[in-house]
Structure 1
């Protein structure tokens, strides 16, 4: 069996030093659409957008943690002992980030990664790949990536949690739309996710898609930026955790419709693709805030 759950979970955690600076932050922000905020006269130089793109004013969107060190936590997890899988069968099923303090613009940290769980969903397996980053001042973030591996279930393991976030029974407090550029995936992948599914049409067809799809984590970052800019007055430090389930694909060139419901200590969102009759993109999406 390509996945030996017991062996993968028992494997020693892997640690590596990761570093980043303002260039990595700026590239990530551009990869999720910073500088192209719709509805402004001069979006690229608007002061609110320069917080994402100009080094002298830079702050860090917390979802940057998913690509810090070129996403070594996920890469390391997929090559862990007990795991031997076909990349074409892999999809990102969900993502959670917990922030222990704001991410600095320049950093050097130790990232420790391990396979935290392997769930049996019948026709597929889900790997929970956990990465924890800490620097000299202590913990920075914990990241859990849920990786969906088609064709690797049915081994008799635990099915895992299946809790869903019930959508509020009222109209959203805010609804915004964000256009995804045709070249968005090509730019986003420069932050470290080189899966050809997001660039190579032939590979995308082998994986069952008519053309390359956008990275789920790109939609994830676009959504968090929209929440921060719309309901948190641009204050990235208020984000305590951010979780989602990837419920559908996005094709470059489409438009994301982001619905937001503000509650006590959290903001819930729902994300759909406008051009495909509001086809689901992100579900069970919660931003815990201070």
Structure 2
């Protein structure tokens, strides 16, 4: 079996070092759509090094190395066709504000392998520590089609009830035609996001936007509209990727305020509001 659950779970953690500069942060912010009003003071916090605030979701690409999905496929016990892989979900816990420039020691390990019948789901945990202590922890859920059915643990299946009542804020975000080509420069060179032939082999009409790009766009929308533009207030951020986004589409982000959290849904406007992100929460101070 290409996914060897026992081997993946018992493999020693993989450690490494990542470093980033303000230029890396600026590129990430541009990749998720910052700076569309180039002189807006709110946007300059993301696009001008002298005012730079780091959106916490930058942690998913810090260092420019292979992020969650690609990184997980290089772990022991995992040998699968990239065309059968999807990013199922992502969570982030922020332990302290991310600096605009820095170096961190990272530890990666597979912490769960779930048998969903028609697919396997791997959970890759990445923990980053700087000179002053822990910086962030990330869990990436990696969905591998056709690799389930060995009788393993199905894993958690409880979903939160969707938000009720009218949202506190609704925001439409335009995805640029070239956005996936720009975002991939942050480190995720999966051809699914650039190569039409590869995308067709994976079952898509054309290349799709990175799930982590939508992830970053959505967090920025929440910070800018409900958290007074203050990135430091973000404590955690989790989502489930419910559907793809194609470059050129419009995302509708609906936000509901809660006690210490914002609940969010994201849909693709042009495809009848097909779900894109669900079970999405931003924990904040």
Q: Which residue of the partner structure matches residue 218 of structure 1?
A: 213
1:239 aligns with 2:238: no
Match of 2:21 in 1: 21
**Residue 69 in 1 paired to residue 69 in 2?**
no
Q: 1:113 aligns with which of 82, 102, 108?
A: 108
Q: In structure 1, list runs of 5 or more residues that go unmatched.
A: 37-42
Q: 1:190 aligns with which of 185, 191, 208?
A: 185
Hey, what does 1:227 align to over in structure 2? 222
What are the Cα deviations for residues 23-68 of structure 1, in whole angstroms up to 9, with x where unaligned?
A: 00000000000011xxxxxx11111000000000000000001001
Which of the numbers 269, 272, 287 marks the counterpart of 2:264? Answer: 269
CA contact (8 A) 1:14 1:76 kept: no
Partner residue of 2:85? 90
The separation in 1 between residues aligned to 2:203 and 2:72, in whole angstroms, is: 24
> For each residue in 1:60-91, what CA deviation from the matched residue of structure 2 results, as whole angstroms up to 9, or x when unmatched?
00000100122445343211111100000010
C-alpha displacement at 1:165, in angstroms? 2.2
Instruction: Look up the match of 2:42.
Output: 48
Aligned with residue 251 of structure 1, among 246, 255, 261:
246
Q: Deviations over 1:147-203 (max 9, x none)?
A: 100000001111111121212221000000000000000000000000000000000
TM-score (normalizing by structure 1): 0.97
Q: How far apart, in 2, do the equivalents of 1:163 and 1:236 lie? A: 30
For normalisation by structure 2, the TM-score amounts to 0.98
Equivalent residue for 1:200, pick from 190, 195, 199: 195
Aligned partner of 1:103 among 98, 101, 104: 98
- Equivalent-residue separation in structure 2 for 1:213 and 1:72 (angstroms): 18
Paired residue secondary structure (2:103) = strand
Q: Secondary structure of 1:76's match? A: helix
Question: How far apart, CA to CA, are the structure 2 residues paired with 1:24 and 1:141?
Answer: 17
Q: State how far apart, in whole Å, the 1-side matches of 2:77 and 2:109 are.
A: 12
SS across alignment from 1:69: coil
Map of 1:39 onto structure 2: none
Q: What residue number does 1:40 align with? A: none
- Taking only aligned residues, the RMSD between alpha carbons, in angstroms, comes to 0.8
2-structure distance, mates of 1:15, 1:5: 20
Please give the per-residue CA displacement for 1:208-244, whole angstroms capped at 9, x wherever unaligned.
0010000000000000000000000100011000000
Would you say how many aligned residue pairs link Structure 1 and Structure 2? 284
